[in-house]
Amino acid sequence: MKKIKVGISACLLGQAVRFNGSHKNSPFCSEVLSKWFDFTPVCPELEIGMGVPREPIRLVNENNQIRVKNVTDQSKDYTEELYALAEKRAPELDDLCGYIFMQKSPSCGVFRVKVYNQNGMPETNPAMGAFAYKLKEHHPLMPMEEAGRLNDIRLRENFIIRVFANHDWRENVLSQPTAKKIVEFHTRYKFLLQAHSEADYRKLGQLVAQAGVKPIDDISTEYFRLFTECLSYIAKINNHVNVLMHMLGFLKSKLPSEAKSSILKSIDRYKDQKINLIVPVTMLKHYVELHNIEYLLNQKYLSPYPYELGLRNDL
C-alpha cells in the first residue's frame, strides 16, 4: 500500500532540533506509524533560522494578542516569522492527510499551550502554538493531533481513523468528484459515521441525496466538511453497540442460532466493558467474510485502518 503523507514536528521523529539540542522521539510515530505514514518533518523554529541550541520562547498575552516571545528578552518577538513560515509552507503541505504536533510548544502545540502575562506569570487560558494556529487556518479540515494526546487510546484511534479516511477521500473522490463517487464513498462509511454521530450521518445522507441535483463541487465541499466534523466525534460505546446490532441484522437469516447467540453475547460483554471492541467486530467480520455479504464487506467500520495497528484491542 502507498504510504500516507502526514506532517509531523521534526523532534518527534528523533531529530535533535529542540532549543536545548535534544529531541522528543515518539516510538509510536517513528517505529509504528512510520510503517503506514510517509512523514514530512517540519521544525518551524529551525526553519525561521533560530538555530540549535537557541534561547527558549513562550506564548505571551500582550494586550489580548498572543505573541511568541523570547523568555528572557521580550523585545524578541517571533510571531510574525512563524506565521509567515506557515503561510509559505501551507500550499506545499496541502497534500498531507494529517499532522502530528509536539504538545506544549509555543510553535507546534495545538491544545492547551501555556500562556504567560507580560510579568511572566502564567495565565488561565491556554492557546495554540503560532505555526500550528496559522496552518490550521489554511487547512481547517486536516486532522491534527498532538503526540502526547495519542497516548489516550480513544483519541489515538480517532485520529488514525480520520487520517485514513482523509486519504481515502483524496485518492477516490477529491481530484474529480462525481455523484457516483460520493455515493460510493458515503455507502462504505455508513456504519463508521453512525458510530461517530448519528445526527451528522443523517445530514450527510440528505446531502448525498442531492448529489445529482446541485452542483457537484458544492456537494463535494460541503460533504467533506460535514464528514470531517462527524468523524471528529469520539465513537461512544452505545453507538458501537447500535452499529454492531444493525450489522448483525444483515446476517441473521444466514447464521445458525448458536452463532447468533455467541455474537450477541460478545456485544453484551463489550457493552458492559468486560471485553474489548475487537472481539465482537472480529466475530462479525468472520461471518461477513464467510457468507460473502458484499454490502458489509465494503464497510469501513470493519476495517477503518490496517488490522496490525491493533487499536481496537484496547477500546
Write the CB contacts of 199 (distance below 8 Å, at least 6 apart in sequence).
none
Q: How far is the CB of 163 from ligand SF4 (least distance, A)?
A: 19
Q: Could you say whether residue 10 binds ligand SF4 (CB under 6 A)? A: yes
> Binding residue for ligand SF4 (CB under 6 A) from 4, 5, 6, 11?
11
Q: Could you say whether residue 43 binds ligand SF4 (CB under 6 A)? A: yes
Q: Could you say whether residue 79 binds ligand SF4 (CB under 6 A)? A: no
Q: Which stretch binds ligand SF4 (CB under 6 A): 10-18, 186-194, 231-239, 286-294?
A: 10-18
Strands (E), the chain: 4-9, 37-42, 57-62, 65-70, 99-101, 115-116, 144-146
x-or-dash string of contact with ligand SF4, 83-122, rule CB under 6 A: -------------------x--x-xx--------------
Q: How far is the CB of 82 from ligand SF4 (least distance, A)?
A: 9
- Secondary element (H or E) of residue 74: none
> Binding residue for ligand SF4 (CB under 6 A) from 7, 44, 280, 304?
44
Q: Could you say whether residue 17 binds ligand SF4 (CB under 6 A)? A: yes
Q: Which stretch binds ligand SF4 (CB under 6 A): 37-45, 111-119, 150-158, 237-245?
A: 37-45
| C-alpha–C-alpha distance, residues 189 and 187, integer Å | 5
- What single string gives the DSSP state of each residue in 121-179? PBPSS-B--HHHHHHHHH-TTS-EEETGGGGSHHHHHHHHHHHHHHHHHIIIIITS--H
Q: Could you say whether residue 57 binds ligand SF4 (CB under 6 A)? A: no
| C-alpha–C-alpha distance, residues 103 and 147, integer Å | 6
Give helix then strand counts, H and E, for the chain: 12, 7
Binding interface with ligand SF4 (CB under 6 A) = 9-11, 17-18, 43-46, 102, 105, 107-108
